[in-house]
Every structure is written in C-alpha cells, then in structure tokens.
Copies of this chain bind each other. A is one copy, B any other.
C-alpha cells in the first residue's frame, strides 16, 4: 500500500532506508514562484543532525542536500522538487550481531509479521533516519507559510519528568532560546537539570522519554470541518513520527478534568476585532483555527535502544539476550532530536491547509482582482503580475 506520502495539495513522498544509499523526498504541489536555496535546506538539516554534543547520538551525519529538480534560477517552477540526501555514514556492521533478534521497542518484529521479510541494516524505513527527508521538505514548507506570516516553534517541554513553563508570545525569542540550548529547551535552568538527569541515566545504560511542545502563529480560518480538522491532521502528523505515544492540543488531557465554565474561552471585542480572551482550546474550534496561537504537545517514549541487556527471542523463536556492544551509539532521549522534526511536520500540515483554504469560499477562489475569463480572447489581462513573483 502507498503509505510514504503526506499531505494532499502540498504533498511529500519520501524514500530511503537508514543504511541504504540515500534518503530523499519529492515535494509535489509547491506553488510556483517561491525562492528557496540549498543553503536554507542544509541549515534545517544541520539542526536535526546528531553529534552536536553528548546529549544526542555521536553518529556523525553531515547531511547536505542535492536539489534534483523543481527549481529554476532559485525559484520553484510548479514542478516537483526532489531532494536527495546521501547516507554518508551507513555502517551497518553493528547490526550484524543482532540481526537475528527481535529488538524490544523496535519494528523488526512487526515488519516481519507484515511483509515476511525485513532489511536488517539499521532500522530500514522504520529508522528515525527517515525523518531527514521530512526536515528537508519542512524547510520548503516553512518558507511557503512564512510568506504568509505563519511561523512555528517546537521545543523540549519535559524530560524525565522535569518540565518547564515557556513564554509563547514572542516566537523569535522562543526560537532563539530553544536553538541555543544543547537540548532544545528554552528554559535554561530547567534544561540544566534535565541534562544532569540524562547523564545519570545514560551512565546506567538506560534512556529517557520526553514531551515536546509546539506553538504556531497563524490566521483564523485555516483547517477544515469534520474529518479534516486541523487538530486531526496535526495528530496524524505527530503520531506518524517514530517513538511518539500521544498528542494533545490546548489543555489536552487536563481539559478532561476541568469544568465547562473553567475551560471555555470567552470572546472579547477590541477595537472592532473579535478574539478569544484566553486560549485553553489551543488555537482551534471545530477544527478550524481561531487566530489565537496554535499550541499542542507530543509525548515521546524513552529511546528503545539501550545499553542494558534485554531479554528477547531469536527470529527462530529461541530465548536470547539483546546486548548492544559498548561502541553502539544511541540517543539517550529521542525527544531532543525530534524538535526540528516536529517543527517540519507542523509546517507541512500548515502548508497543506493554507493551500486548501484558497478553495473555501467563492471570494477566496476569485481573489480580488483576477477577473476570470472575459471577452473573446480569454486572455489574462494582467499576465505580467503573475510573473512578478
């Protein structure tokens, strides 16, 4: 079944295995006229790269993108944009020793159940390595939504039970604080406590889970009713990421413990503009954005690959112990590296709903100046304008 694409109008299709020759993505549906450079994509890739410090896996993945198609003189042409990232460091020999074992928390069991065969080098398609394609495509999506003043920031909100409060009003500052932190956590003091805990747990050969938060500023009216609610698309996007176990928007699970009078956001009028007095809903009502900041959280399980020995069975059904060699490199907490990936997925969702929104009303479809076909020649009179971008 075709299961490697995401989005409808702004659609990505990804390919490539953890230890194959390359990871790639085809972006189909990006509007023509958007400026985008290799450098912008490489910058995004640099953020998700491991090896930055001891809090993420020391694998060195120096990823650089090759733009195979879809740009001409630095602008998108409406043609599909294919981005290729070669796997530089795909040494699958560490997997030889364990390739005959079902790995707890990993997908080789279910892939074998489903497909009857499995590429044992690294995690194949199930590896987090696949997310490099999401980040590359997300860089293009961010450029597109940025053109419309839509921005998003993800950050570490909790690791190993240590949580933070973050100021969500100023996205630029939030982003700066987040990306200047070794663990993408904008609260410097709490971040230090998290790092201490990570070091302890890592020394024990174990791993930690965490919670990411994401905030986006966007206009009212994005998202669609019923089955295409904005929060439904976001939830699917987040649960499509490796290691995710939960999604909540606004007050989320805490809302289940509030009363209606506590949870409802009142409307207020201010200089002729109606908006919400509070934002417990997290930015949507009925699946459509309210104009208040979009706010949601994602739960990540602790890294499945740990140094501690684990009891398991072989593919042949014999009891066995999974013990990674001391040289194996694993993230002590996968949530950290997921920050730029969550951001990329949100950008992909928002790019898609932005394009969909152009079809919501006659007014939207018409635009304001485009007169539609008129007169004998059916010539667009303002053709020049089209080319200005």
Q: How far is the CA of A126 from the CA of B228 in the complex (A)?
A: 12
A111 touches B288 (CB 8 A): yes
Q: How far is the CA of A242 from the CA of B225 in the complex (A)?
A: 10
B256 touches A158 (CB 8 A): yes
A251 touches B373 (CB 8 A): no
User: Provided the pairs A21-B68, A370-B368 are in contact, do residues A3 and B289 lie with their beta carbons within 8 angstroms?
Assistant: no
Question: Which listed residue (B106, B266, B291, B301) contacts A113, Cβ 8 A?
Answer: B291
Residue of B nearest to A292 (CB): B378
A110 touches B220 (CB 8 A): yes
A33 touches B112 (CB 8 A): no
A363 touches B116 (CB 8 A): yes
Query: Closest 4 interchain pairs by CB?
Result: A107-B286, A33-B373, A116-B386, A246-B248
Q: Which of A106, A210, A225: most chain B Cβ within 10 A?
A: A225
Q: How many chain copies does the complex carry?
A: 4
B-chain residues with CB within 8 Å of residue A186 when the two chains form the complex: none
Q: Which of A234, A253, A268, A381: most chain B Cβ within 10 A?
A: A253
Query: CB within 8 Å of B: which of A171-207?
Result: 201, 206-207
- State how many angstroms separate the Cβ of A181 from the closest Cβ of chain B: 18
Question: Which listed residue (B106, B303, B373) contacts A75, Cβ 8 A?
Answer: B373
Q: How far is the CA of A258 from the CA of B158 in the complex (A)?
A: 12
B257 touches A209 (CB 8 A): yes
A219 touches B260 (CB 8 A): no
B-chain residues with CB within 8 Å of residue A365 when the two chains form the complex: 31, 148, 354-355, 358
A344 CB-CB contact with B under 8 Å:
no
A240 CB-CB contact with B under 8 Å:
yes
Q: How far is the CA of A125 from the CA of B82 in the complex (A)?
A: 13
Q: How far is the CA of A300 from the CA of B109 in the complex (A)?
A: 34
A301 touches B31 (CB 8 A): no
Residue of B nearest to A8 (CB): B2
Q: How far is the CA of A116 from the CA of B370 in the complex (A)?
A: 14
A28 CB-CB contact with B under 8 Å:
yes
Q: How far is the CA of A370 from the CA of B367 in the complex (A)?
A: 8
A372 CB-CB contact with B under 8 Å:
yes
Question: Which listed residue (B33, B70, B277) contacts A362, Cβ 8 A?
Answer: B33
User: Provided the pairs A284-B110, A363-B33 are in contact, do residues A77 and B118 lie with their beta carbons within 8 angstroms?
Assistant: yes
A363 touches B378 (CB 8 A): no
- State how many angstroms separate the Cβ of A222 from the closest Cβ of chain B: 8
A272 touches B317 (CB 8 A): yes
A161 CB-CB contact with B under 8 Å:
yes
- State how many angstroms separate the Cβ of A173 from the closest Cβ of chain B: 15
Binds B, one of A10-18, A46-54, A56-64: A10-18
User: Provided the pairs A299-B253, A368-B367 are in contact, do residues A104 and B373 lie with their beta carbons within 8 angstroms?
Assistant: no
